[in-house]
Amino acid sequence: METFKKIDGIVEKSVERFQTIKSVIENVDLKELGLSVYTPKERRVKGLYCAIDGSKNVQNLGDVYLIVAKAVKVVGEVTLEKKVISREPVFEVEIEDDYMGEDTVNNDSIRLMINLETSLLRDCDECNYVLLDGPIVDPPVIDDRGGKQSIPSLKDLARVRSQYVLSLIEKGKVVLGIAKRFSERFIVSLLKDKGYLKDTDYREKMVVDSLLSRFVRDETLGIGVIKWDDVVRGASEVDKLMEAYEAYKEFSEGRLKIASVYVKASRVGIPSRVDIAYTDSYDVEKALSLIATWEVKDKAELNLLTVLADTLSSVSNYEVKQFREYYTVRTLEELKDSRFILSNFILRKKI
């Protein structure tokens, strides 16, 4: 079949890219790229940790969409032994008319989720270290146009989020963003600029994983640092991120800065990009020490606290069912109209 031949071609191209990257990485001089290998100062840093993550779920109820956003803050304490104290999740719901279309509704759901996550940042004064499951600067992969005026725009989110992060730093807190999914081609662009690659048509995560695997053994290790202020624009992915970053800097009057280091906890661990928020200076080894304190060994994760936050923040089928049923039952109750029936939690007109 023609489809299988097409898949064969895709596989062949992917393998060819992988082999190219593997041969390139073996000859890379980190100093030439302006990068270094870092290891944690400590394996256990005492203190109170906050991990924040969120999720969203969109349900089509026939004539409207139900948007459910959920976020959670998990608190972990490190004294003589580690202790995790989970907190009650926070929810937010919106109803959007179906004529807005799925793309608009999906954009709104993402911004609603980010807004809910951001709101939890203001409740982190109790913690010494704040770990965001995801990047500090929201990836600009969604359209800012939306249907609900009550949902903050990307610009509004940048203003509030940057001020919350800046406030935490000024209070002596360490704020890290741990991104397992990243596509901004910082490393790929560096390799191209130094002549190791001919173009930037390579997946950033594959390149980073190959680079980290060259050095990592059985302990947490990082490669960096990439200061976002020094990033040269070129690849479109970098341009979009830098535009978002400039908004954060604008709303913090240029004080909030970010530096990134790529991290793995073991050979089989997942590569992650750790974003370090700072104003005057940062400590890479300290950041890696915080990761190592809660590291997950030999798993497809990096940090136990953010894994817990990710798991607890997922909108379950039961929770969605509750909100769907409540919305429909309350609508029927208000209508008091026998012409409508409840069918699979969707309001339908009797035939």
Q: What is 60-113 written as a DSSP string? A: E-SSEEEEEEEEEEEEEEESSSEEEEE---EEEEEEEEGGG-HHHHHHHHHHHH
Asked if residue 156 lies in contact with residue 127, where contact means CB atoms within 8 angstroms, the answer is: no
Pairing of strands 64-78, 47-60: antiparallel
Q: What is the mean pLDDT of the chain?
A: 83
Confidence of residue 131 (pLDDT cuts 50, 70, 90): very high
State the total domains in the chain.
2
- Quick one: average pLDDT of 303-317? 83
Q: Between the CA atoms of 51, 52, 53 and 54, what dihedral angle is there, to the nearest 10 degrees?
A: 150
Asked if residue 146 lies in contact with residue 307, where contact means CB atoms within 8 angstroms, the answer is: no
Q: How far is CA 53 from CA 68, 69, 79, 188, 339, in A?
A: 14, 11, 24, 28, 43
**CATH number for position 262:** 3.30.2170
Q: Which two tokens stand for residue 212?
A: 């980290």
CB neighbourhood size of 298 (10 A): 11
Same domain? 71 vs 185: yes
* pLDDT on residue 237: 61
Q: For the segment 213-232, what is each residue's pLDDT rounded down to a tens digit?
A: 888 887 889 998 999 998 87
* pLDDT on residue 347: 52
Same domain? 259 vs 110: yes
Q: For the segment 93-118, what is each residue's pLDDT rounded down to a tens digit?
A: 887 776 667 778 888 888 889 999 99
Same domain? 216 vs 332: no
> Is 4 part of any domain?
no
Q: Is the pLDDT of residue 310 over 60?
A: yes
* pLDDT on residue 138: 74
Confidence of residue 340 (pLDDT cuts 50, 70, 90): low
Helices (H), the chain: 2-25, 30-33, 102-121, 154-170, 186-193, 204-215, 236-251, 284-293, 304-313, 317-335
Q: Which two tokens stand for residue 143?
A: 């359209």
Same domain? 84 vs 160: yes
Same domain? 341 vs 271: no
> Is 234 part of any domain?
yes
* pLDDT on residue 286: 95
Q: Is the pLDDT of residue 321 over 60?
A: yes
> Is 22 part of any domain?
no
Q: For the segment 23-61, what is each residue's pLDDT rounded down to a tens digit?
A: 888 888 889 889 999 999 998 999 999 999 999 988 887
Pairing of strands 129-133, 174-179: parallel
Phi, psi of 160 (to 5 degrees): -70, -45
Note down the domain range covering 211.
44-315
Q: For the segment 72-93, what is each residue's pLDDT rounded down to a tens digit?
A: 999 999 987 888 888 888 888 8
Same domain? 68 vs 214: yes
Rounded Cα distance, 135 and 162, in Å: 12
Q: Which of 302, 275, 308, 301 is nearest to 73 (CA)?
A: 308
* pLDDT on residue 299: 64
Same domain? 271 vs 339: no
Same domain? 189 vs 241: yes
Same domain? 189 vs 336: no
Same domain? 284 vs 342: no
Residues 6+ away with beta carbon under 8 Å from 65:
58, 59, 95, 96, 97, 98, 100, 102, 105
* pLDDT on residue 196: 86
> Is 7 part of any domain?
no
Rounded Cα distance, 223 and 220, in Å: 11
* pLDDT on residue 315: 83
Same domain? 229 vs 345: no
Q: How far is CA 128 from CA 30, 94, 166, 275, 331, in A?
A: 32, 34, 14, 17, 45
* pLDDT on residue 338: 56
Confidence of residue 335 (pLDDT cuts 50, 70, 90): low
> Is 51 part of any domain?
yes
Confidence of residue 201 (pLDDT cuts 50, 70, 90): confident
Q: Is the pLDDT of residue 260 over 80?
A: yes
> Is 17 part of any domain?
no
Q: For the segment 159-175, what is each residue's pLDDT rounded down to a tens digit?
A: 999 999 999 999 999 99
The percentage of residues in the chain with a pLDDT greater than 70, rounded to a whole number, is: 87
> Is 33 part of any domain?
no
* pLDDT on residue 350: 52
> Is 246 part of any domain?
yes
Same domain? 236 vs 327: no
Q: How far is CA 166 from CA 50, 175, 244, 287, in A?
A: 16, 9, 16, 17
Confidence of residue 121 (pLDDT cuts 50, 70, 90): very high
